[in-house]
Amino acid sequence: MLGTIVNTATILAGATIGSFLNKGIEERFKERTIQGMGFVAMAIGISNISKGMGLINNPMVFILSIAIGAILGEWINLDKKIDLISKKYEGTKNPVQGIVIGMVLFCVGALSIVGPIESAIRGDNTMLYANAVLDGITSIILSINYGISIAFVGVILFIWQGSIYLGASVMQDIITPEVLNQLTLIGGIFILATGINILGIAKIKILNFLPALFIPFIARCFGII
């Protein structure tokens, strides 16, 4: 799990650096940096979508994953639960919003999902090291806007990637290239939606779509992919 530890450490370091920089930067520069992150998120999302679409063999699984995930997510309504917590911080630089943005950017990207699987199955941490560099820079920018609360996302990432790592170690037969490609595509959509939210183009309840990430695994268990 060395790659995950390094990835977590860069987020914690970036959040610390950004929280100090926060105090000396004018509001207009903070606003521009967060807009920049919106463009970056959209670009990464489009890249993952293009990559995933070109590699999946069964597009019906991807479509059903989004549809079923949306229904389950809306039933659970995680977005509303998080929003109720968020309302407690209205009128301030909302740290909960920053944590939600960080969770999506750090946890549902292709590198963050495929990386720990590659580490567990092949002992290759290359993807996680690359992800660590990207997440370190991103955490600095996010913490400039949302403060040290972004460090909490590092803890979430460690649990997320650690769970994937341990799961991959015992479920190597289930995690096929097709499952990974489906996850890349779904993750790309989430990251693109995050960019749209950051830029204020629309308000997409991304958290209510998160169950979609589990559908490819279920499809694999039933022999659909």
Residue burial 41-79, b: 16+ Cβ < 10 Å; e: rest = bbebbeebbeebeeebeeeebbebbbeebbebbeeeebb
Q: Does residue 205 have a pLDDT over 70?
A: yes
Q: Dig out the tokens for 126 from the structure.
A: 């290359």
Mean pLDDT of 170-175: 82
Contact 41, 105 (CB under 8 A): yes
Q: Which of 15-29, 63-77, 113-127 has the highest mean pLDDT?
A: 63-77
Amino acid at 89: Y
Residue 46 vs residue 34, higher pLDDT: 46
Mean pLDDT of the chain: 87
Contact 1, 8 (CB under 8 A): no
What is the rounded CA–CA span in Å between residue 54 and residue 6? 31
Mean pLDDT of 193-211: 88
CA-closest candidate to residue 62, choices 222, 215, 224, 223 = 215
Contact 213, 183 (CB under 8 A): yes
Amino acid at 122: R
pTM: 0.77
The secondary element (H helix, E strand) that includes residue 29 is helix 27-55
